[in-house]
Structure 1
Amino acid sequence: MIVSLLYKVARKLLCVPSVLLRREEAKDAELLVLRHENTVLRRQLAGPVRYEPADRFWFAVLSTLVPRRRWREVFPVTPGTLLAWHRRFTAAKWDYSARRRTGRPPTRAAVKTLVLRLAQENPRWGHRRIQAELARIGHQIVASTVWEILNAAGVDPAPRRTGPTWREFLTVQAESIIAADFFHIDPALGGRLYALAFLEHGTRRLHISGVTAHPTRYWTVRQARNLAVDMDIRMEPPRFLLRDRDGKYGEAFDGVFQAEDMEILKSAPRAPRMNAHCERIIGSIRREVLDHVLIANEAHARKVLAAYERHHNEHRPHQARHQLPPEAHEQPATVHDLDIRMVLRTRILGGLINEYRYTA
């Protein structure tokens, strides 16, 4: 009876601190369970354990919270390994070798873009000429760096020193070139008609001089004289006439323009891309008009082409002229009162082509 009573009293006395310190006891108990489980797992592992960098990091950090005398009991690695990990992470904090670049600093993207722009706009400039121009505007860059930028972009750092290519010549002389080319029209009742078109490269002004079923050299020379008179009236004679090697032109045709101090440029045989501007406007005439109208005869063809020529020169916008028609010289004023003014439509060729304008 006495032993039983003492046991009950002892349990009652021990329950008081256990209630007050239950949280700490539970934590210690969990740690003991985890430590024993860790011991069991170590006995069962046959080979060495491989730790990831993140595992090593956390073990090294947690080692500062545990007394060093208990490291062998708590951590699954030796104290020497923990200290080695700690030294490695501490040394990495002060190691700048991975963040330090060797050699020259990288060239800024804006300078690279400027180098390529100068090379594109000046195809005869070499890398040393580009480097000199960059130095003149305040970019101190060596010629070898310019060479590397051009070479990486596929641009020849040392371009040829001969004359310009055909494309470069046409681009430079665009304001002074007028191109000529024939195109055919198939009437609804059979046969074939021919029209002669002239296109001024600089202004994109179109001249359709005439339509005939028999484009003889005499007829072609007469169209050339009509165009020469028109250019004299406008006082804007070009310097070059670009045409193909069609036999319908002849020496008399060239003589009309040579009398106006113009030089004749002949494209290569079977090379329509050498007269690309004229070929493109002929394609526009077909897509916008001739493919949608049944041409009856020469008179009808002249009327249709005259209407399109007037629309092309006075209204049709052109990308090469910042969306201005050939005979316009300034951008139209911006319209602000959109709710008040109305948009009027003008039908060309029965509505095949439409022109739009705001009311005054």
Structure 2
Amino acid sequence: MSDKDKDIEILVLRHQLPLLQRQVGKPTFTDSDRAILAGLLHHLPKDRLRRLLLLVRPETVLRWHRELLRRRHAAACVPRRRGRPPTIQSIRTLALRLARENATWAYRRIHGELAALGIKVAASTVWEILREHGIPPAPERQSTTRADFLRSQAKALLACNLFEVRTLTRARLYVFAVIEHTTRHIRVLGATAHPTAEWIVQLGRNLLRDLKDASSKAKFLIPDRDSKFTATFDALMTDAGVKVVTTGIRIPRMNSLMERWIQTCRTELLDRTLIWNQSHLPHTLREYESFYNEHRPHRALEQAAPCRPLPTPITQQAQLTHLKVRRRDRLGGTLHQYQHAA
């Protein structure tokens, strides 16, 4: 483009600018528009700017330029990272693990344990990690609920109870059962129409013999406050190294596992079976005991049974495509047990 062409273009643009100013209202400038105009025009003297045909006043252009320089200076002076560097994720995870596994440890105790492991962090950093994840101070974490206590002592706990069963002739029978907290293994020890303290003591002897044969490490037995659990029964258990811990008055939740099993037994068996007499009931309960311990899955055991671990998952697509599963009816079809066909 020649100089003459440039002069013509400039004159045309100058002529068009007043036309636009007369027909268009106040224009709106974006940040990029301000930056471009300020960058191009700040080199010109102020008196020269006043003679130019512009959409804004010269003072506005200079103000834009000062704002552009201020932002550039502010961006250059801001540090890349504010404050101390972030704590490594593995250290944060370890601090949270120590807090959850040790309810009595305050943040300074956790800080000391990390220092003993050769991990250097500030005590305030440990406090901040616990606060961010909603972990309360140690005094508020020291309270142990009964559920937490039962979980921590499950391997040493047994629970027992008597429950009533009505026969077809409306006769009352009483069943004595014991459950292990850790494995959910159930033992139905006997059924009678006339439960006495001597009968309970004899069943206690049978229970101790079964525990000895199974090499059980149970140390506590939880019965309710039934008068049939006499001092003789307590002394029998104490001599065998099993301490009797009686539940509170009218607090069935203190023996929740046993109460839950009784409900399961009623729902899955007794409410769907006609019990003829006292000889029929033990046979029915033994069959259900075998089904419960050897086949019935439990959520607390990750769907395994008390006496049967989960099998290895099937991974071959051909086996999954052609499943052959047969049903075994127990107690006349009241209970259904499924297994792969041979």
What's the TM-score, normalizing by structure 1?
0.76
Q: Paired residue for 1:80?
A: 59
C-alpha separation in 1, matches of 2:259 and 2:285 = 16
The 3 A distance-change label for structure 1 pair 155 and 275 is farther
The 3 A distance-change label for structure 1 pair 87 and 113 is same
Q: Paired residue for 1:349?
A: 331
C-alpha separation in 1, matches of 2:266 and 2:72 = 73
Q: CA deviation at 1:205?
A: 0.6
Superposed, 1:1-360 pairs within 5 Å as: 32-33=15-16, 35-40=18-23, 55-64=30-39, 69=48, 73-96=52-75, 102-107=82-87, 111-137=91-117, 139-159=119-139, 166-328=146-308, 330-335=309-314, 336=316, 338=319, 342-360=324-342
The 3 A distance-change label for structure 1 pair 75 and 180 is farther
Q: CA deviation at 1:65?
A: 5.7
Q: How many residues align?
A: 329
Name stretches of at least 5 consecutive residues in structure 1 with no aligned partner: 1-20
The 3 A distance-change label for structure 1 pair 26 and 101 is closer
Q: CA deviation at 1:225?
A: 1.8
Farther-moved stretch of structure 1 (56-65 vs 82-91): 56-65
For the Cα contact (< 8 Å) 1:179–1:199, is it kept in 2?
Answer: yes
Q: SS in structure 1 opposite 2:263?
A: helix
The 3 A distance-change label for structure 1 pair 84 and 65 is closer
Q: CA deviation at 1:356?
A: 2.0
Q: Paired residue for 1:9?
A: none
For the Cα contact (< 8 Å) 1:147–1:157, is it kept in 2?
Answer: no
Give a deviation string over 1:149-204, Cα, whole Å, max 9, x none. Answer: 33454434333898965444322221111111222334444344322221111221
Letter in 1 for 2:70: A
C-alpha separation in 2, matches of 1:64 and 1:101 = 30
Q: CA deviation at 1:301?
A: 2.8
Q: SS in structure 1 opposite 2:300?
A: helix
Letter in 2 for 1:231: L
Q: CA deviation at 1:64?
A: 4.6
C-alpha separation in 1, matches of 2:297 and 2:13 = 83
Q: SS in structure 1 opposite 2:121?
A: coil
C-alpha separation in 2, matches of 1:173 and 1:56 = 68
Letter in 1 for 2:229: Y
For the Cα contact (< 8 Å) 2:155–2:217, is it kept in 1?
Answer: no
Larger Rg: 1 or 2? 1
Q: SS in structure 1 opposite 2:307?
A: coil
Letter in 1 for 2:59: G
Letter in 1 for 2:158: I
For the Cα contact (< 8 Å) 1:63–1:71, is it kept in 2?
Answer: no
Sequence identity (%): 36
Q: CA deviation at 1:118?
A: 2.3
What's the TM-score, normalizing by structure 2?
0.80
C-alpha separation in 1, matches of 2:276 and 2:258 = 25
Q: CA deviation at 1:290?
A: 2.6
Q: CA deviation at 1:261?
A: 1.4
For the Cα contact (< 8 Å) 1:72–1:79, is it kept in 2?
Answer: no
The 3 A distance-change label for structure 1 pair 86 and 108 is farther
For the Cα contact (< 8 Å) 1:126–1:158, is it kept in 2?
Answer: yes
Q: CA deviation at 1:60?
A: 2.8
Give a deviation string over 1:213-243, Cα, whole Å, max 9, x none. Answer: 3322222222212212212222224111122
Q: CA deviation at 1:143?
A: 2.2
The 3 A distance-change label for structure 1 pair 307 and 26 is farther
For the Cα contact (< 8 Å) 1:238–1:262, is it kept in 2?
Answer: yes
Q: Paired residue for 1:6?
A: none
C-alpha separation in 1, matches of 2:191 and 2:55 = 100
For the Cα contact (< 8 Å) 1:60–1:82, is it kept in 2?
Answer: no
Q: CA deviation at 1:311?
A: 1.0
Farther-moved stretch of structure 1 (317-326 vs 176-185): 317-326
CA-based RMSD of the aligned residues comes to 3.5
Name stretches of at least 5 consecutive residues in structure 2 with no aligned partner: none
For the Cα contact (< 8 Å) 2:180–2:186, is it kept in 1?
Answer: yes
The 3 A distance-change label for structure 1 pair 196 and 35 is farther
The 3 A distance-change label for structure 1 pair 115 and 292 is farther
